[in-house]
Structure 1
Amino acid sequence: MPHFVIDCSKNILKSQEEETVLKEVYQVTKDSGLFDANDIKVRMRPFDTFSVGGINTDFIHVFADIMEGRSTEQKAALSKAVVKKLKQLFPEVSFIAMNIRDFEKATYCNLGMI
């Protein structure tokens, strides 16, 4: 953790390679200073079929799940930085967004904790 999952229309990958997008989102996240670089996970889920406002138009939405404990200001700054980077990579995409959800530390478990 943290996990950054990028949902997007598959069409956007015609202008940027998937690996480039993953690296750029990773770098912005790392540069935020909020996470240990080795813990950051970034994945992409491109969709062939989708609807945005009732029409088939390109989109990007990043869903971030992070451990609780960061301030609202820190999370807002991270969201803005990621959206800004994605807008630089995809100036033609008019629907770019991100939201951050907190993991509850008390209920989180991974294999290293067992």
Structure 2
Amino acid sequence: MPHLVIDYADSLAPSLDMDAIMDDLHAAAMQSGLFKESDIKVRAESWRHWRLAGNQAPLAHKHGFVNLHCHQLEGRSDDDKSRLADILMEALKPHCEAAREVSVEIVEITRATYRKHKA
């Protein structure tokens, strides 16, 4: 943990350097001091079909979105989660000037229902 999952409008793809974004988010997660480097996972997925404020995905880049979900196991304080959200947003924002909306969400995973297998 954590899993940093970036969702973004595919219309923004030409303006997003996803490798740089993922590198900066990985570094930001490390900077938080909450995770071991070997536990940080980052991935991204573009969305072709989406709506923003009830409107169909426009061709203009200025109307796209970037959303970061940070999935982590439960147990951290609200202060730690808030600080992590701020650190991740500061790492993400400079890459997303073409997006209309940029958001970060900290998602807690319940230990009792989480399973992981390592081969």
Shift of 1:29: 1.0
Q: Which residue of 1 aligns with 2:42?
A: 42
**For structure 2, which runs of at least 5 residues remain unmatched after alignment?**
58-62
Contact kept in structure 1, 2:17 and 2:95, CA below 8 Å: no
Could you tell me which residue of structure 2 aligns to residue 29 of structure 1? Answer: 29
Deviations 1:57-109 (A, max 9, x none): 21011112101121111111111221222211122323011111212223322
State the TM-score, normalized to the length of structure 1.
0.87
* Contact 1:87-1:93 within 8 A present in 2 as well: no
Q: Calculate the aligned-residue CA RMSD, in Å.
A: 1.7
Q: What displacement does 1:2 show?
A: 1.3
TM superposition score normalised by structure 2? 0.84
Deviation at 1:44, TM superposition (A): 0.4
Aligned residues: 113
Match of 1:81 in 2: 87
Q: In 1, are the aligned partners of 2:73 and 2:108 still within 8 Å (CA)?
A: yes
Matched ranges for 1:1-114 at <5 A: 1-55=1-55, 56=57, 57-112=63-118
**SS in structure 2 of the partner of residue 45 of structure 1:** strand
Which whole-Å CA distance do the structure 2 matches of 1:16 and 1:65 have between them? 22
* Structure 1 residue ranges (4+ consecutive) displaced by more than 3 angstroms after TM superposition: none
